[in-house]
Amino acid sequence: MKLILRLIYDSIRQGCLYVMSRPLFLVSIVAIPLVSAFLMLNLMADGLANRVPTAIVDLDGSELSRTISSNIDAMQTTDVVMTCTSFSEARDAVQQGKIVGFFLIPEDFSSEAIAGRTPEISYYTNYAYIVPASLVYKGFKTISILSNGSLVKATLTTAGLADGSVSSLLQPIVADMHMLGNPWMSYPVYMSNSFIPGILALMVMIVTTFSITDEIKRKTSAQWLDRCGGSMTIALMGKLAPQTLLFTLTGWIIQLSIFGWLGFPLHCHIAVMMAAMLLLVLACQAMAVTICGLTPNMRIALSICSLLSVLAFSISGFTMPIDDMYGWVAIVSYILPIRYYYLIYIDQALNGVDLYYSRYYFIALLIFILVSFIPLFNLKRMCRRPVYIP
C-alpha cells in the first residue's frame, strides 16, 4: 500500500514537471482558453446587434412615405445609413455589404392608399447574415404593420367607430412572449455558455492526447510506465492530474467571470456549475484516453480528437437542435462530453429546474470516465513497444 502511494506521488511529481517542461502546455491549458473567452465576451459586449445599417428607397416622396421613413429611422433595431433613389442602387449597397436590408415605398403609394387601392410596400433583407437579417426583418415588419394600422385606424375613426374598439379590432389577439431565462434575448448569454466551454473541452482533448502519445513519439513510454511500477492507471493519473487541476481552475475562472462578473443568468448554486466543469474536464480527458487506447498513433489520435472537438460546436446542438439533424448525424452528439455540460447549463443555470431533471447528464459524464479504463490494456501494450509513425 505504501509502495503504491509512493508510486502515485512520484508519478504526479513527474506529471507536474512534464507540464512545466515546455511553455507550450501552459499556453494551451491556460492562455488559449482565457484569451478565447475574453475575445468572445468582449466581441459581443453590446448584447444585441442593434442599429443594423439599412436604407430606404422612397419612390413616392409624399407626406405619408416620409412619415414611414422617419418611423424606420426612429426604430432601435435599424439605422438608416443611406437614402437610395432606386431599387438598383439599394441592391448594389446590399451586394457591397454596406447595408443589410432596405424598405421600398413604391410610386403613388400615398394616393393609392387613400383611394383604397391597396398599394404594396416591400422590404428586402439580406439573409446571408442571419443575425442582423432577423433584426431588420423584425423592425421592417413592425413598421409595415404599424403603417397599415394607422391607415385603417384613420379610416375607421372617420367612419365613426370609437377609438378603443378600433385598436382591438386591429389586434384582437395580443400575444405576450415570455422569453424564459434570457428575456433580453442577449446573444452573448446564448453563445458564451456553449462556445467558451467548447473551446476549453477542445483544448483538454488535444492536450491530453498530445501528452500521452508524446511519450510514444519520443520512445520514452516504456520508462514512463516502469517509473510507475508498470501500472498504466498510475502513469496516466500522474500525468493527467496536474493538467486536470490547471484546466479546472481555468474553467472556474471563466465561469466566475461569466456568472459573477458579467452577471449572466445563474438560477442554480454556482457549485453545481463548478462541479459540472470539473466533470467536463475529467470526461474530456477520459475521452482522449479512450481514443489514445484505440489508436496510439499520435497523429491519428490527435486528428480524431480535433475532428470531434471542432465538429462538437455544430453537432452538440448549440445552434441547431439535434432533433432537427439527420438521426445518424445527431447520434454522434451522444459521445461528446460537451453536450452533457451544455444540457446541465441549460437546465440548471439558464432555466433553474430541479437537479433531478439533470441526473442523467451527470451520470453520462461519469460514464466517460469509466469507459476510459477499458482500452488501457492496448495503450499499455503500445507503451511497451513504442512505434512512431510521422
Partner 1 sequence: MTKIWRYITSVFSVCKREFHLAYRDMGVMLFFLALPIAYPILYALIYNREFVREVPVVVVDDCRSATTREYARRLDASQYTEIAGYAANMQEAQRAMAQKDCYAIIHFPEDFEALIGRGESAHLPIYCDMSLLLRYKSVLMAQTDVTASMGADIQAQMMQLASMQGLTMNGGAIPTVKSTPVAMGNTSTGVASALLPGILVLILQQSLVLGICMLAAGSRERARANGGIDPMAIPASTSASIAGKALCYFVIYIIPSIYILKYVPMFFSFPQNGHTLDIMIFMIPFLLSTIFMGMVIQRFIHERESVFLLFVFSSILFLFLSGLSWPRYDMSQLWTTIGGCFPSTWAINGYVAMKSNGAELWQVARPYEMLWLLSAIYFIVAWGIGQIERRIVNKNGSMAQASELKNG
Residues in 236-295 that interact with partner 1 by CB under 8 A: none
Alpha-carbon span 67 to 102, nearest angstrom: 16
Instruction: For partner 1, give the closer residue by CB, 33 or 293.
Output: 33
Site size toward partner 1, by CB under 8 A: 123
From the list 2-10, 143-151, 364-372, 374-382, the region that binds partner 1 by CB under 8 A is 143-151
What nine digits make up the cell of 129? 447574415
Q: How far is the CB of 261 from partner 1 (least distance, A)?
A: 18
Which residues 185-204 are close enough to bind partner 1 by CB under 8 A?
185, 187, 190-191, 195, 198-199, 202-203
Nearer to partner 1 by Cβ, of 149 and 229: the residue is 149
Residue selected from 124, 247, 259, 341 as contacting partner 1 according to rule CB under 8 A: 124
Which amino acid is present at 58?
D
Cα(30)–Cα(293) distance, integer angstroms: 26
| HSE value, Cβ hemisphere, 13 Å, CA-based, for 191 | 15
Which of 1/116 has CB closer to partner 1?
116
Q: Which is nearer to partner 1, 127 or 377 (CB)?
A: 127
Length of the chain: 390
Residue 175 CB coordination number (10 Å): 5
* Shortest Å, Cβ 247 to partner 1: 13
**Count of CA atoms in the C-beta half-sphere (13 A) of 302:** 14
Q: Which is nearer to partner 1, 42 or 63 (CB)?
A: 42
Among 13, 85, 108, 181, binds partner 1 (CB under 8 A): 181
CB of 5 to partner 1, least distance (A): 32
Q: Does 351 contact partner 1 by CB under 8 A?
A: yes
Q: How far apart are the first and last CA of the chain?
A: 40
Interface stretch with partner 1, choices 7-15, 152-160, 227-235, 379-387 (CB under 8 A):
152-160
Which residues, in sequence order, are CB contacts of 93 under 8 Å at separation 6+?
A: 55, 82, 84, 99, 102
Which positions from 202 through 221 interact with partner 1, judged by CB under 8 A?
202-203, 206-207, 210, 213-214, 217
- The candidate with the shortest Cα–Cα distance to 136, out of 47, 54, 44, 46, is 54
Smallest separation, CB 16 to partner 1 (Å):
19
Minimum separation from the CB atom of position 77 to partner 1 (A): 12
Interface with partner 1 in residues 59-118 (CB under 8 A): 91-92, 94-97, 100-101, 113-118
Q: Least distance from C-beta 351 to partner 1, angstroms? A: 7
48 Cβ contact list (under 8 Å, min separation 6): 135, 184, 185, 186, 187
User: From CA 261, how far away is CA 42, in angstroms rounded?
Assistant: 13
Min dist. Cβ of residue 141 to partner 1 (A): 7
Residue 225 near residue 383 (C-beta atoms within 8 A): yes
CB nearer to partner 1: give 8 or 94.
94
**Selected range binding partner 1 among 221-229, 277-285, 314-322, 367-375, rule: CB under 8 A:** 314-322
Contacts of 171 (CB under 8 A, 6+ apart): 149
| 62 vs 148 by CB, closer to partner 1 | 148
d(CA 226, CA 224): 6
Smallest distance from partner 1 to CB 161, Å: 7
Per CB under 8 A, which region of 55-63, 160-168, 251-259, 374-382 contacts partner 1? 160-168
> What is the side-by-side order of every strand in the sheet holding 101-105?
78-84, 52-58, 101-105
Number of Cβ within a 10 Å radius of residue 72? 24
Place of cell 511553455: 23
